[in-house]
Amino acid sequence: MDRIRIVGGNALNGIIPISGAKNAALPLMIASLLTSDTLTLENVPHLADVEGLIRILGNHGVDIAVNGRREHQDGSYSRTIHFTCRTVADTTAPYELVSKMRASFWVIGPLLAREGQARVSLPGGCAIGTRPVDLFIEGLAALGAEMEIDGGYINAKAPKGGLIGARYTFPKVSVGATHVMLMAASLARGTTVIGNAAREPEVVDLANCLIAMGAKISGAGTSTITIEGVPSLSGARHRVLPDRIETGTYAMAVAMTGGDVTLSGTDITLLDTAIEAIRRAGAEVSAVEGGIRVIGHGDQIRPVDIVTEPFPGFPTDLQAQFMGLMTRANGVSHVTETIFENRFMHVQELARLGAKITLSGQTARIEGVSRLRGAPVMATDLRASVSLVIAGLAAEGETMVSRVYHLDRGFERLEEKLTRCGAIVERISD
Query: Which residues are known binding-site members for phosphoenolpyruvate?
Result: 22-23
Sequence-separated contacts (24+) of 344-348 with Cβ below 8 Å = 345/127, 345/128, 345/380, 345/381, 345/384, 346/320, 346/380, 346/381, 346/384, 346/387, 346/388, 347/323
Burial of 129 (0-12, 13-18, 19+ CB in 10 A): middle
Q: Are 3 and 424 in contact (CB under 8 A)?
A: no
Element (H, E) at 53: helix 48-59
Is-contact 313 376, C-beta < 8 A?
no
Annotated binding residues for UDP-N-acetyl-alpha-D-glucosamine, written as ranges, equal: 102, 131-135, 172-175, 317, 339
Is the Cβ–Cβ distance between 65 and 82 less than 8 Å? yes
For this structure, is 85 an active site residue?
no
- Dihedral of alpha carbons 204, 206, 208, 211, sign: negative
CA distances from 284 to 115, 279, 300 (A): 51, 6, 12
Query: Rounded to whole angstroms, what are the CA distances from 221 to 38, 47, 110, 175, 350?
Result: 26, 26, 21, 11, 35
Would you say 391 and 399 are in contact if contact means Cβ atoms under 8 Å apart? yes
* Residue of 85, 126, 209, 421 marked catalytic: 126
Q: What span, in angstroms and rounded, lies between the C-alpha atoms of 158 and 156? A: 7
End-to-end Cα separation, the chain, in angstroms? 6
Burial of residue 163 (CB within 10 Å: 0-12, 13-18, 19+) is buried
Cis geometry, peptide bond prior to residue 312 (ω within 30 degrees of 0): yes
The strand order across the sheet containing 216-218 reads 167-169, 191-195, 224-228, 216-218
Q: How many residues does the chain have?
A: 430
| Residues annotated catalytic, as ranges | 126
